[in-house]
Structure 1
Amino acid sequence: MATGTMKQWVLHGKKGIDSLILEETLIPQPGENEVLVKLHAVSLNYRDLMIANGIYYWNQSDSVVPVSDGAGQVISIGAKVKRFTPGQRVMPTFFQGYISGNLTEEHMKSALGAVHDGVLREYAVFNEDSLVHIPPSLSYEEASTLPCAGLTAWNCLYGSRSLRPGDTVLTQGTGGVSTFALQFAIAAGAETIATTGSVEKERRLKQLGVQHVINYREDPEWGTTAKRLSLDQQGANYVVEIGGPGTLHQSSRAAAVGGEVTIVGMLS
């Protein structure tokens, strides 16, 4: 059992990263259904910056340990914990306590790093229902990218209906969700189309295996172009919408009849 003190970053206020203060506090101790985890890696999402800047579109606390995605090792467990033992590698779920079914307002409030303290700290306590094992093939750094970006991308393609070989997937940009969605789509045998505003990122997307890359700075009507590039020119079965109001019109043009446009971000 770990005792003593630890360091953690705390976001006081909503004025950007200058609101982050490095603090020292006692290492928390697990309750009977809880697990103490030593964090080894974290990953950053655009959501974390939105929270720091006070522009997140869900609830957030005025004082909170930020960052939702991390990975670490079990240090100690509560008396009633059954799924984990000390030494095992784990990562916390984005929504604490959410297992399956429709999301509710209460589930949304349970997301780490907004209302509930996140993982930008040395140690954290989680209920055992809010942790999953890390596969042996993944490093701490790799596992730390999964809870938000990885699972969001998976849900875009498999949440309401499952992606099938031959479907067309359109993504925007090269952020975490879009990059994960492209990799899932390629692995599933889908046709992939991606947009970017960077010539360098065009090259990297093609190296990743993306079949069609559109530079939206050169082609403002990229939605029409994406539909033309899709299989039989019928449009995309799945569109991972990152921009929001500034790009939704083009995403709608690109979508097939009966296709899904999943709104993930509001970056434009």
Structure 2
Amino acid sequence: MKKVLLTLIIFLYGSIVFGSEIVIDRDCLLYSDLFVNGDNSKLTCNFAPGDEKILQYSVLQKILKQNPGLKPKLNSIKKIVVKRKGKLVTEEIVQQLIANLYRKSFPDIEISIEKISMNKGIYFANINDLRLNFMNNDRLGSVYYLLSNGYKNYRIYAYVKGYKEVFVSKERIKKNEPISNKVVKKRVEITRLLGEPVMDIDEYIASRTIPTNRIVTDKYVIKKPDAFKGDYVKLIYKSASIIAVTKGILEQNAYIGNVVKVKNPSSGKFVIAKYVGDKRAIILDY
């Protein structure tokens, strides 16, 4: 019965008095919280959920001096503690916030939260006020988050494992070999994976040897070039009066439209040229 009565009092007035302690259910302390005949004017604000503050005696003296007709609710006003109610942020709530964050940001990754470390005194007023974001670029493994309750920010630590369907080499793949027919899709743990998994494999070749049963990431592949380093190309020089053609050797992989370095095998000199396809490159300087 007492609990029901206290709940009703807080619902009606937004505060309740215990000796020299006032409990409020909002972010502002009103005159009506302190004085029997006080109105709903704001006395002081910025009470975060779970906050506990001491109201200075000098402040109350000043108010009473300016408003001698006010009648304090408390027997003693020398030390008044003001508390704002709040709901405790539990580990289960943080787990759900983390799960929602990954579901929104990385819908193709399944996660397993192995450990959470957090301040035990975090409170909130409404569950919708809680916001969780990444603190840095770490997404799996040891991850730090910033949790806001709408008033304060708190650092949260979690160890998160990630799982995803990715392409894995089913045999040894040599450098410059196409990878599309030498990989298989598997659900694997990617927590400690270096690089990003390659999901569009048709246009890629191995940039170095890929061992068997290795996750194919951008560290192992490149987009298949239109011409390879070491290939011979037609080197074309154009000016207002002449067009000259000679042979050149690509010093790097070439893609149509890219600028590449080409060696003239006759002179041993290097030139910069624009690769235009069909084993042709137009000299940009000489």
Class of the TM-score when normalised by the shorter of the 2 chains: under 0.3
Q: Which structure has the bigger radius of gyration?
A: 2
Higher helix share: 1
Higher strand share: 2
